[in-house]
Amino acid sequence: MHHGSKTLSRTAIAIISIAVCAYSTGAGAQSSCANPVYLTFDTGHMETAPLVADVLRKQQVKATFFVANERTKKGDGSLGNDWAFWWKAMAAQGHEFASHTYDHVYWRGDIRGVKPTFRMQPTSGAFEGREFTWDAAKYCEQIGRAAERIQDHTGKKPLPLFRAPGGKTSPRLLEVASACGYAHVGWAAAGFLGDELPSEKFSNEMLLKKALRDIRGGDILMAHLGIWSRKDPWAPANLEPLIVGLKERGFCFETLRNHPDYRPWIASHGG
C-alpha cells in the first residue's frame, strides 16, 4: 500500500471513530429532543435480541437495558460469554446499561429486625426457584455483580441505576440499594408495553393501540428481550410500529442518562 493510501485510511478511520463517539455519547442530540420518552428493556430469553437491535439501529433510537444473567433459549446466560459481542455492539451504538440483579432475584418480603434482611428468590442461576434470607450486603452484591459483568462485556460504565425484577420492592430494600449507590427505576403505567401478558388475551394489535393512545411525554417504557410464556412474541412485531407511531405523535427517544429525575443522581454517583 502506498503512503498516501495509508494516510487516507487513517483519516477515514479517524472520521468513523469520531462519528461513532458522537452517536454513542448522544452529542448534539439532547437539545433536539423536546418531548422525550424513555425506552427500556429488561433481559429475557434473548431470542428476539438481534431483531430488537436491528429495529433500534434502523430507527436511530437509543434505549436503556437492565441486565441480569437470565436463562436463554440457547442454553447459556444473557450475560454469558456467548453474548459478549452483542452487548459490546449495543454499547458502540450508544445504548445505556444498568443492573437487573445478576440472578434476576425477586424480593418476596422484608424480615423484621434491627438490620435490614429480606426474603429473596432467584429465578436464574444455580439456586433458581429457592427462597433465601439475604442481608443488605448480599443484595448489594447482586446488583453490583450484574453491573460489573455488563461493564466487562462493553467496556462502558453502566448507569448507577437498577430495576428490581417484577418491579417488586419495599421502602427498606430501596434504602439499602440507595446506600450502596443505586437508584431504582420503575416504569409508567402507560409504559408497561404488555409483552409478558398472554397473547391469547392481549394481542399485539391491542397492546400497540393502547400504547400509542396512552403514552405521554416523559414516560418510561418497559419491554423485554424475550418472554418465555408469551406465544405470539411482542418484539419485534410491535417495536417498530410503536417507535414510528410515537415519532408521528411528536415524541423522541432518550436514554435514562438524560431523564430529569435521574440525571442528578447519575452525576453524583460516578455515572
> Angle at which helices 171-179 and 136-154 pack, to 10 degrees?
60
Instruction: Please indicate, yes or no, if residue 15 is contained in any of the structural domains.
Output: no
Please give the distance of CA 187 from its chain centroid, rounded to a whole number: 12
pTM for the model:
0.88
C-alpha separations of 96 from 35, 171, 176, 186 in Å: 19, 26, 23, 16
Residue 24 lies in a domain: no
Predicted pLDDT of residue 25: 40
Average pLDDT, the chain: 90
Q: Does 202 fall in a domain?
A: yes
Per the structure, the complete domain to which residue 156 belongs is given by: 35-268
Q: How confident is the model at residue 24 (pLDDT cuts 50, 70, 90)?
A: very low
How confident is the model at residue 16, as a pLDDT? 33
Residue where the block lists cell 500500500: 1
Residue holding cell 428476539?
48
Query: Which pLDDT score is estimated for 270?
Result: 85
Q: How far apart are CA 270 and CA 117, in angstroms?
A: 27
- Supply the CATH number for residue 197's domain: 3.20.20.370
Judged by DSSP in three states, 222 sits in strand
Any domain includes 87: yes
Residue 183 pLDDT = 98
Give percent of the chain with pLDDT exceeding 90: 85
Residue 40 belongs to what H/E stretch?
A: strand 36-42
Beta carbons of 167 and 107 less than 8 angstroms apart? no
pLDDT, one tens digit per residue, over 249-266 is 999 999 999 999 999 999
Q: Is the pLDDT of residue 192 over 80?
A: yes
Answer whether residue 26 is part of any domain: no
Report the relative pairing of strands 105-111 and 96-99 from DSSP bridges: unpaired
Q: How many domains is the chain built from?
A: 1
Q: Beta strands 117-122 and 36-42: pairing type? A: unpaired
| Percent share of the chain, pLDDT over 70 | 89
Identify the sign of the CA torsion 48, 218, 220, 92: positive
Nearest to 164 by CA among 140, 130, 198: 140
Q: Is residue 29 part of a domain?
A: no
